[in-house]
């Protein structure tokens, strides 16, 4: 079968097409014929061994997010049936409960081989049904970005109708957070430096938009949008470049869900402002299978459709797809059709 792999060295020049033996499932396993994949910023970092020893070893099949159909069952499998369309879980080991250190070894796309292969064999416990109303491309976006947003807004943020949620930019997690917040009846403040993207955020349901290229103190502006109360939940993806503004934006006893660091990893924070507000900062590392299944049920009930970038890549175009991420020209998830 065909696979894409990072070959002899950790860099973009060593992303290559390769062939591996087609796998067959053992007891408790399922074989999937993969149909589509989606890219996360984590995948871009992984090409250069951005997660250190937790990146795994070479050669490595990249990308964590995808969808496929069950084509064969190993002995004793009853969770799924042949023909079911399922998503491989981003973390194959995290099925229930809180995150634990030993679960780091269960991540697809590093240290475990990822989804860029025509067929995958996985533990039956490590897959979950994809929402029936979604296309393959849409379903492929769920395991990491969507579940991370769900964990940030629902599990950590405890969103409820009428809350204000602040989302930053137009990456996959932020757009999912916007959609999930609206699913729960919340109001959303969304930021971008592009007027065209701000219009698309409005079309997705954002109640208020802020151009951070024009409004330098956008955290204070977001605070004022809520009549001076502050937002209930901040979905923080920018890291060093945005955390100070997030602290300004959040209300007393509000939640900042820390997800990304695309704007840098080392930040200066006004700590008195944090504890004077009794603000809660919590790190988000995707979520478990129970949360994925709850999210999928919610998306099915509300017919939520993920936002896919207009340009869809082919199986052989992984390098170009990955390298497009830092350019920031995409809107929604960058996907690949097999």
In the predicted model, is pLDDT for residue 267 greater than 80?
Answer: no
Residue 86 domain-assigned?
yes
- Whether residue 164 is found in the same domain as residue 39: no
Mean pLDDT of 228-241: 92
Residue 162 domain-assigned?
yes
In the predicted model, is pLDDT for residue 248 greater than 80?
Answer: yes
- Whether residue 123 is found in the same domain as residue 173: no
Looking at the 3D structure of the chain, how many domains does it have?
2
pLDDT value for 275: 82
- Whether residue 70 is found in the same domain as residue 17: yes
pLDDT tens digit sequence for 92-149: 999 999 999 999 999 999 999 999 999 999 999 999 999 999 999 999 999 999 999 9
- Whether residue 177 is found in the same domain as residue 132: no
Mean pLDDT of 24-42: 97
Residue 291 domain-assigned?
no
List 57's β-bridge partners, or say none. Answer: none
Specify the pTM: 0.94
Do 331 and 194 meet the contact criterion of CB atoms below 8 Å apart?
Answer: no
pLDDT value for 211: 96
pLDDT value for 269: 81
Q: State how far the Cα of 200 lies from the Cα of 111, in Å rounded to an integer.
A: 36
Residue 102 domain-assigned?
yes
pLDDT value for 266: 80
- Whether residue 185 is found in the same domain as residue 262: yes
- Whether residue 123 is found in the same domain as residue 253: no
Q: State how far the Cα of 257 lies from the Cα of 267, in Å rounded to an integer.
A: 15
- Whether residue 202 is found in the same domain as residue 320: no
Which domain, by its residues, includes 173?
146-283
Q: In what order do the strands lie in the sheet with 231-236?
A: 208-211, 187-192, 164-168, 231-236, 250-258, 280-283
Residue 290 domain-assigned?
no
Listed as own residue / partner, the contacts of 101-106 with beta carbons closer than 8 Å and 24 or more positions apart are 104/54
- Three-state helix/strand/coil letters over the chain: CEEEEECCCCCHHHEEEEECCCCCCCCCEEEEEEEEEECCHHHHHHCCCCCHHHHCCCCECCCCEEEEEEEEECCCCCCCCCCCEEEECCECCCCCCCCCHHHHHHEECCCECCCCECEEEEEHHHEEECCCCCCHHHHHCHHHHHHHHHHHHHHHCCCCCCCEEEEECCCHHHHHHHHHHHHCCCEEEEEECCHHHHHHHHHHCCCEEEECCCCCCHHHHHHHHCCCCCEEEEEECCHHHCHHHHHHHEEEEEEEEECCCCCCCCCCCCHHHHHHHCCEEEECCCCCHHHHHHHHHHHHHHCCCCCEEEEEEEHHHHHHHHHCHHHCCCCCEEEEEC
pLDDT tens digit sequence for 200-225: 999 999 999 999 999 989 999 999 99
Please, what is the average pLDDT of the chain? 95
Residue 97 domain-assigned?
yes
- Whether residue 45 is found in the same domain as residue 98: yes
- Whether residue 270 is found in the same domain as residue 153: yes
Mean pLDDT of 292-312: 97
pLDDT value for 330: 87
Residue 317 sits in a domain of what CATH number?
Answer: 3.90.180.10
Mean pLDDT of 298-326: 95
Residue 226 domain-assigned?
yes
Residue 288 domain-assigned?
no
Do 173 and 259 meet the contact criterion of CB atoms below 8 Å apart?
Answer: yes
Mean pLDDT of 248-255: 94
Peptide bond into 211 cis (omega under 30): no
- Whether residue 17 is found in the same domain as residue 50: yes
Q: Which two tokens stand for residue 154?
A: 């629902």
Residue 156 sits in a domain of what CATH number?
Answer: 3.40.50.720
- Whether residue 41 is found in the same domain as residue 122: yes
Do 171 and 236 meet the contact criterion of CB atoms below 8 Å apart?
Answer: no
pLDDT value for 276: 80
- Whether residue 62 is found in the same domain as residue 110: yes
In the predicted model, is pLDDT for residue 287 greater than 80?
Answer: yes
């Amino acid at each position: 079968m065909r696979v894409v792999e990072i070959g002899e060295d950790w860099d973009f020049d060593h992303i290559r097409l390769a062939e591996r033996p087609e796998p067959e499932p053992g007891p408790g396993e399922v074989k999937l014929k993969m149909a589509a994949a989606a890219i996360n910023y984590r995948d871009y970092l992984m090409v250069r061994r951005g997660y250190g020893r937790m990146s795994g070893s070479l050669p490595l099949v990249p990308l964590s997010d995808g969808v496929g159909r069950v084509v064969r069952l190993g002995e004793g499998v009853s969770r799924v049936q042949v023909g079911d369309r399922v998503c491989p879980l981003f973390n194959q080991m995290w099925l229930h409960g809180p995150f634990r250190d030993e679960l780091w070894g269960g991540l697809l796309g590093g240290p475990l081989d990822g989804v860029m292969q025509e067929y995958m064999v996985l533990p039956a416990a490590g897959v979950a049904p994809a929402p029936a109303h979604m296309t393959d491309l849409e379903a492929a976006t769920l395991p990491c970005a969507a579940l991370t947003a769900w964990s940030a807004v629902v599990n950590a943020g405890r969103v409820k109708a009428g809350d204000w949620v602040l989302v930053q930019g137009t990456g996959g997690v932020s757009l999912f957070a916007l959609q999930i917040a609206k699913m729960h009846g919340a109001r959303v403040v969304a930021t971008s430096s592009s007027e065209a993207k701000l219009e698309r955020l409005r079309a997705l349901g954002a109640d208020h938009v802020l151009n951070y290229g024009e409004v330098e103190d956008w955290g204070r502006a977001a605070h004022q949008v809520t009549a001076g109360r502050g937002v209930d939940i901040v979905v923080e993806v920018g890291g060093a470049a945005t955390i100070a503004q997030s602290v300004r934006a959040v209300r007393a006893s509000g939640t900042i869900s820390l997800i990304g660091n695309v704007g840098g990893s080392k930040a200066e924070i006004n700590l008195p402002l944090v504890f004077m507000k009794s603000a809660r900062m919590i790190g988000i590392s995707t979520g478990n299978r129970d949360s994925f299944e709850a999210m999928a049920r919610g998306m099915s009930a509300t017919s939520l459709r993920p936002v896919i970038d207009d340009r869809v890549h082919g199986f052989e175009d992984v390098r170009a797809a990955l390298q497009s991420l830092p350019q920031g020209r995409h809107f929604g998830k960058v996907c690949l059709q097999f």
